[in-house]
């Protein structure tokens, strides 16, 4: 859904954007036009109109604004990264999750430390969201993160990202060491690595699903279910294909 802003349009009618914001403020709890407002920003509506919404005293206005920001293209999200950091202290879990999503488009620096901190948050949904965000980053992003963590001397997080960055060359025991670590953050990266290694070492993920750490068990079960679903779709596809021959 992410799109770049069209800043070249000289004929864009900004009235629609202002009307949507007016509607949001009038009934934030029942506002259902987030995507339409997001589209207005993509068409050229002034993104600075998001800032007062992100700072609103109303919980639902902040949530809607955070959801829109989380969908934005990196080029227009960047000026709002400090707003996203501030929202990490929000009372609404969904708003915090949107803020974490926004920070993944930060250019990799100190903002990524907030994602590491979220792995130890008191709320399960936030820890789970942070795990999924680390899981879905590319090797290019992992590489940038490693550079930053090396420069700042953060060995704990450096080892965690190294595990994901080098997952193609990992041996089974290396991932298991993380899964069995006394460090809860390292255990989380262990199960993420186990998912990436499933085709090579399927037993690691099954071991994670049978462990005592609830965060790890739930995440491992979700990965296993996605794998099973993909396998079922593939079998169904092959079965359908055979009927034509």
Tens of pLDDT, residue by residue over 98-118, are 999 999 987 667 888 999 999
In a domain? residue 70: yes
Residue 152, classed as helix, strand or coil, is helix
Distance separating alpha carbons of residues 31 and 237, to the nearest angstrom:
40
In a domain? residue 7: yes
Per-residue model confidence (pLDDT) at position 59: 97
In a domain? residue 123: no
Q: Of 127, 126, 119, whose CA–CA distance to 92 is shortest?
A: 126
**Domain enclosing residue 30, as ranges:** 1-80
In a domain? residue 64: yes
How many domains does one find in the chain? 1
* pTM of the shown model: 0.87
Query: Encoding tokens for residue 114?
Result: 């907030």
Distance separating alpha carbons of residues 209 and 216, to the nearest angstrom:
7
In a domain? residue 20: yes
Query: Encoding tokens for residue 23?
Result: 């509607």
Q: Of 94, 137, 91, whose CA–CA distance to 112 is shortest?
A: 137
Burial of residue 131 (CB within 10 Å: 0-12, 13-18, 19+) is buried
Per-residue model confidence (pLDDT) at position 4: 44
Which pLDDT band, with edges at 50, 70 and 90, does 153 fall under? very high
Torsion (CA) 28, 32, 38, 44 in degrees, nearest 10: -80
Query: Encoding tokens for residue 71?
Result: 């969908």
In a domain? residue 139: no
In a domain? residue 191: no
Q: How does the average pLDDT of the chain come out, rounded?
A: 90
The yes-or-no verdict on residue 2 having pLDDT over 60 is no
Contact 68, 34 (CB under 8 A): yes
In a domain? residue 206: no
The CA–CA distances, whole Å, from 125 to 29, 94, 103 equal 21, 9, 17
Q: Which residue has the higher pLDDT, 11 or 212?
A: 212
């Amino acid at each position: 859904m992410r799109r770049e802003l069209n800043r070249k349009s000289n004929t864009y009618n900004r009235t629609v954007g202002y009307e949507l914001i007016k509607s949001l403020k009038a009934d934030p709890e029942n506002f259902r036009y987030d995507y339409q407002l997001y589209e207005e920003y993509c068409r050229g509506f002034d993104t600075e109109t998001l800032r007062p919404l992100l700072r609103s005293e109303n919980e639902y206005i902040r949530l809607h604004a955070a959801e829109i920001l989380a969908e934005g293209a990196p080029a227009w999200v960047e000026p709002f990264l400090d707003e996203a950091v501030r929202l990490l202290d929000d009372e609404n879990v969904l708003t915090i999750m949107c803020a974490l999503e926004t920070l993944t488009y930060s250019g990799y620096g100190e903002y990524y430390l907030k994602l590491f901190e979220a792995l130890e948050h008191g709320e399960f949904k936030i820890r789970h969201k942070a795990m999924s965000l680390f899981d879905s980053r590319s090797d290019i992003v992992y590489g940038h993160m490693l550079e930053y963590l090396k420069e700042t001397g953060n060995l704990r997080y450096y080892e965690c990202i190294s595990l994901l960055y080098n997952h193609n060359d990992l041996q089974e025991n290396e991932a298991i060491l993380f899964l069995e670590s006394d460090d809860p953050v390292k255990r989380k990266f262990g199960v993420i690595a186990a998912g990436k290694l499933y085709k090579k070492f399927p037993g690691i993920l099954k071991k994670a699903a049978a462990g005592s750490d609830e965060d790890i068990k739930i995440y491992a079960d979700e990965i296993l279910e996605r794998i099973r679903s993909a396998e079922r779709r593939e079998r169904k596809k092959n079965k359908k294909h055979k009927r034509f021959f």
